Structure 1
Amino acid sequence: MRILVTGGAGFIGGHLAERFTVEGHDVTVIDNFDPFYDVRIKEHTVEQCRNVASEDDGTYQLVKGDIRDAELVSELVAETDVVYHQAAQAGVRQSVENPRKYDDVNVDGTLNVLDAARSTDVDRVVLASSSSVYGKPQYLPYDEDHPTTPVSPYGASKLAAERYAMAYNEVYDLPAVALRYFTVYGPRMRPNMAISNFVSRCVNGNSPVVYGDGTQTRDFTYIDDIVAANQTLLTTDAADGEVMNVGSTDNIEIRTLAEEVLAQLAPELELEFDDRHDADADHTHADIEKASDLLDYAPTYTIREGVEQFIEWYQDNRDWYESLVLSS
């Protein structure tokens, strides 16, 4: 099968591209290598995917380009069976500083992908959305009927993107699915995320820094579970026209997470605290009943198991990854 992964050199997109290549698909990736974080992580991802392609039956092609380039997007989508639209301007806090860029990339860029897809005969567009669309919780866990009242421009842009995808499904009969990811982590994750920061600081004898009092909770989802949900959508139309949560259902206080990392790596250290950012969500917790019903989705990692996996990977890849984490 011919698969296009937008943002395919990024964290989630890179893992999707790698898995699809291993499975023997013909994978094309478009990524603009935006320097939101050190692009050497993306370069490492591309190298990994190329190595996989040389060893397996799948093919891998990298196109350095931007989803805001409508002509380029149209050319790539025209040669594709399934589009995994992962490209986005990430960063909740940064979106407060520059909201128009988030609209430009996450909304207009998504429209380019959707317009190209409805003009061809693609089997499906799978859109990466976010738990940030929910905003302040009225109840937990979030199910898909929970009001969507995002508190950051990033969350607003992801909500707009998924609403467009659902509208295109309805009006143009474009098969589209939106997956609301809940705080994804794992190998090659963005270096300025809580887990990577906690681990890197502990490994180097520095106390983890918790923003706020640490009572905020997150539903952290290990990357392999995210990949599994996306894989299912290669072969089923059961979720076309639907938005659904993809999480772990296993939420944890940020403070407790930091203490877990401390216990594993540096039990002699103590936590440090700093001011919390206003755009950060108080809590996230996913109800995954819908994804379970439609995709037979079942997360396989608890947060503690996933953190153990990430620590093992971090220590194996410390030489190249650590300098990027510490400089972010």
Structure 2
Amino acid sequence: MDMKLSGATFRRAASTVTVIGGSGFIGRNLHRALRSVGARPHVFTRRKPFAHAGRVHPAVAKSDTIFYVAGSVTPALAERNPELVEEDHWNLNLLLWGLRETGHRPLVVLASSGGTVYDPDAAPPYREDSPTRPVAAYGAAKLAQEHALAAADWTTPVILRFANVYGPGQTASAGYGVIPHWIRAVHARETLTMIGASRRDYVHIDDATAALLAVRAHADRLRATPGPTTLNIGSGAPTSLDELHRHLERAVGGPVEVRREPARSFDRTDTWLDVSAAGAALGWSPAIGLAEGLAGTLAATRHTSMSP
């Protein structure tokens, strides 16, 4: 990933930064990107919790910027396991309560969902001021986290509503996006499963990470902004599952068999994001098209699967 830095980024290189959720897909890539620009982030995971006995780690309390990219639920898990939703909400609140007595207003960046928090009756592309009305447990959980952060006026809240993030290194675990599952199936020479018929917004992990770095680079401006800052981070373009399938076939270089299944009760139909506000606020825009990103992800995954 090419990280060309502004002067503001360099000036903030010495500031203290924390990544909570550093073992996840976004967290791992963010950690690498921060180190590539000279930062030495404090990273917390499930095995290394950010809080103990109700108190946040001293490194967290001293941090100027805290990226909260942690989470244990997917849309499917949120429907089946409400206790996991409650645990995620509790963990974020634990962080926010622990920051009340720090004596400064840390920038807290929350990774939210641009695909599930908006009202499905509103027409996409969704802007940040589009009406919100989650119709599934996952979207409701993300919106509740947004509200909790926005109410924490002892912080500088920044909410990034991500589209479907994909790219090399993403695990094909249950509920984690169509792209890693399809790429795993290609390498295993299995039939793809296409669930429902919808259009989605897919953003490459490098673009998602660049947006997170841009937040840090513009931290001073964001701190001067009253109230929370909410920004959509996506490609800004809709892609149907059939189009995604065709992109994959071109990347593979031949036909890929697919089996169709009906949509699940919690699946949205058409969702994609207007990302112009992120351009105005952060100077950020997506740089990696889906065809390029999908081909690169397939190639990287093929290399990994062939490694001893």
For the criterion TM > 0.5, the same-fold answer is: yes
Match of 1:112 in 2: 94
Contact 2:50/2:57, CA 8 A, preserved across alignment = no
TM-score where L is the length of structure 1: 0.81
- Is 1:161 the counterpart of 2:145 in the alignment? yes
Matching residue within 136, 148, 159 for 2:132:
148
Equivalent runs, 1:22-171 vs 2, <5 Å: 22-32=36-46, 64-65=48-49, 69=52, 71-105=54-88, 107-120=89-102, 121-131=104-114, 132-169=116-153
Measure the CA separation in 1 of the matches of 2:214 and 2:271. Answer: 24
Relative to 1, partners in 2 of residues 1:304 and 1:185: Cα closer, same or farther, differing over 3 Å? same
Q: CA deviation at 1:270?
A: 2.6
CA RMSD of aligned residues (A): 2.0
TM superposition score normalised by structure 2: 0.86
In structure 2, C-alpha distance between the alignment counterparts of 1:208 and 1:135, rounded to whole Å = 30
**Which residue in the other structure is 1:324 paired with?**
none
CA distance in 2, matches of 1:239, 1:119: 21
Quickly say closer, same or farther: Cα 1:197–1:141, change in 2 above 3 A: same
Shift of 1:66: 6.1
The corresponding residue for 1:37 is none
Instruction: Please show how residues 153-302 of structure 1 align to structure 2 within 5 Å.
Output: 153-169=137-153, 172=154, 174-192=155-173, 193-212=177-196, 215-236=197-218, 237-240=220-223, 241-265=228-252, 267-302=254-289
SS at 2:99's partner residue?
Answer: helix
Distance 1:133 1:77, change over 3 A: same
Q: Is 1:307 the equivalent of 2:294?
A: yes
Query: Match of 1:112, as an amino acid?
Result: L
Shift of 1:144: 1.0
Listed as ranges, the gaps of 5+ residues in structure 2 are: 1-14
Quick check: 2:50–2:60 contact (8 Å CA) kept in 1?
Answer: no
Give, in whole Å, the separation in 2 of the partners of 1:142 and 1:239: 22
Number of residue equivalences: 284
2:25 and 2:170 in contact (8 A); partners too:
yes
1:86 shift after superposition: 0.7
Q: 1:162 corresponds to which letter in structure 2?
A: E
The aligned counterpart of 1:318 is: 305
For residue 207 of structure 2, what is the amino acid of its counterpart?
D
Cα distance between partner residues in 2 of 1:196 and 1:218: 15
Distance 2:65 2:281 in 1: 18
Task: Return the alpha-carbon distance in structure 1 between the equivalents of residues 239 and 124 of structure 2.
Answer: 13
Equivalent residue, structure 2, for 1:59: none
Q: Distance in 2 between matches of 1:197 and 1:223?
A: 16
Structure with the larger helix share: 1
Q: What whole-Å deviation, never above 9, does each CA across 1:78-133 have from its counterpart, x for those lacking one?
A: 2322100111123001111112321221x221111122223212531111111121
| Equivalent-residue separation in structure 2 for 1:286 and 1:70 (angstroms) | 40
Query: Which string of whole-angstrom CA distances, capped at 9 and with x for unpartnered residues, describes residues 191-232 of structure 1?
Result: 1321111122123322211012xx301100001111111111
Are 2:278 and 2:284, in contact at CA under 8 Å, matched by a contact in 1?
yes
- Point out where structure 1 has 5 or more consecutive residues left out of the alignment: 34-63, 322-328
The residue type paired with residue 215 of structure 2 is L
- Residue type of the alignment partner of 1:233: V
Q: Is the 8 A contact 1:250 1:302 kept in 2?
A: no
Distance 1:196 1:137 in 2: 29
